[in-house]
């Protein structure tokens, strides 16, 4: 069985940690991100430490057609992808009516369209080989509406629903789909979401801990992976709360952190 993983958003945070974990387990990698210098650094480090092959592709995945570009480049390299890890994504904090539309559109393209397209491109190959694993990084935001981050929360709800539906469709095929739903995690996500300002935030889990939890869940073929007792409790609680109450609570929490 092959063991090559394609990881998007691999230059930092959870994506970078997932790359390290996979390399430690002897797997080859195709790493995708916008920053080629950082990708080259990671490539040199992982190849030296773990004696694996690492291929890097510079691509802005918020652009139309980027999934095709990645798929074609990987085919040109003669590689089969055994694990598809759709990690890349970003958010934006502000009221929707005041938001920058190009940024919202890029968020939808990255968080939803490219993730879905990459999955559509690689899934038939996996089905024909009767093996493969897909890890889609969603969020605890998947489980409720998110005033002040409306498009981000909605995009992650899509990722969760899409992943759960695929997991059901693929039962018995040898392919598993896992949705990783972390809460706030140490990364540059919050810096991007609030235009470089540091949000008021409690201490967050390390990206390595979240990545390790998600990787293990993917290997086991678990459909839903929610790292952290607090996050699992929150998700369980949300099932019993009226959605209007949950939306109001999210707004209050978000505004207390960022305003």
Q: What is the pLDDT of residues 118-172, one digit of tens each?
A: 999 999 999 999 999 999 999 999 999 999 999 999 999 999 999 999 999 999 9
Q: What is the pLDDT of residues 47-63, one digit of tens each?
A: 999 999 999 999 999 99
Distances (CA, A) of 82 to 64, 127, 244: 24, 11, 41
The residue from 152, 158, 213, 215 that is catalytic is 152
Residue 191, pLDDT > 70, answer no
Nearest-angstrom CA–CA distance, 217 and 72: 29
Q: What is the pLDDT of residues 1-53, one digit of tens each?
A: 479 999 999 999 999 999 999 999 999 999 999 999 999 999 999 999 999 99
Looking at domain 4-258, its CATH architecture is 3-Layer(aba) Sandwich (3.40)
Mean pLDDT of 108-114: 98
Q: What is the pLDDT of residues 72-106, one digit of tens each?
A: 999 999 999 999 999 999 999 999 999 999 999 99
Please, which pLDDT band fits residue 202 given cuts at 50, 70 and 90? low
Task: Please check whether residue 51 is in contact with residue 34, taking contact to mean a CB–CB distance below 8 angstroms.
Answer: no
Please, which pLDDT band fits residue 194 given cuts at 50, 70 and 90? low
Residue 152 annotated to the active site: yes
Distances (CA, A) of 58 to 91, 170, 178: 21, 31, 25
- Return left, alpha or beta for 148; rule: phi > 0 is left, psi -120 to 50 is alpha, else beta: left
Query: Between β-strands 224-225 and 28-33, what pairing exists: parallel, antiparallel or unpaired?
Result: unpaired
With tokens 């540059």, the residue in question is: 188
Q: For residue 137, give the nearest of 117, 155, 123 by alpha carbon.
A: 155
Q: Find how far residue 186's CA is from the centre of its chain.
A: 14
Nearest-angstrom CA–CA distance, 159 and 156: 5
Helix then strand count (H, E) for the chain reads 10, 7
What is the model's pTM? 0.90
With tokens 């949950």, the residue in question is: 246
- The domain ranges of the chain are 4-258
């Amino acid at each position: 069985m092959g063991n090559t993983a394609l990881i998007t958003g691999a230059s930092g945070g959870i994506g970078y940690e997932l790359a390290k974990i996979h390399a430690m387990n002897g797997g080859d990698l195709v790493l995708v991100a916008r920053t080629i210098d950082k990708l080259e650094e990671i490539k040199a480090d992982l190849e030296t430490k773990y004696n694996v092959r690492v291929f890097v592709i510079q691509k802005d995945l918020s652009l139309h057609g980027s999934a095709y570009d990645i798929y074609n480049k990987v085919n040109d390299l003669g590689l089969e992808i055994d694990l598809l890890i759709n990690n890349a994504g970003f958010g934006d904090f502000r009221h929707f009516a005041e938001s920058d539309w190009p940024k919202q559109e890029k968020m939808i393209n990255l968080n939803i369209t490219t993730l879905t397209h990459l999955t559509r491109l690689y899934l038939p190959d996996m089905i024909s080989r009767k093996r493969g694993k897909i890890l889609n990084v969603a969020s605890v935001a998947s489980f409720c509406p998110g005033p002040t981050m409306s498009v981000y929360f909605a995009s992650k709800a899509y990722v969760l629903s899409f992943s759960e539906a695929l997991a059901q469709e693929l039962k018995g095929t040898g392919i598993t789909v896992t949705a990783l739903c972390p809460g706030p995690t140490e990364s540059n996500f919050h810096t991007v979401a609030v235009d470089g300002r540091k949000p008021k935030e409690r201490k967050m889990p390390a990206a390595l801990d979240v990545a390790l939890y998600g990787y293990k869940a993917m290997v086991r073929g678990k459909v839903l992976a929610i790292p952290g007792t607090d996050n699992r409790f929150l998700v369980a609680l949300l099932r019993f709360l009226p959605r209007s109450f949950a939306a109001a609570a999210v707004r209050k929490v978000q505004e207390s952190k960022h305003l």
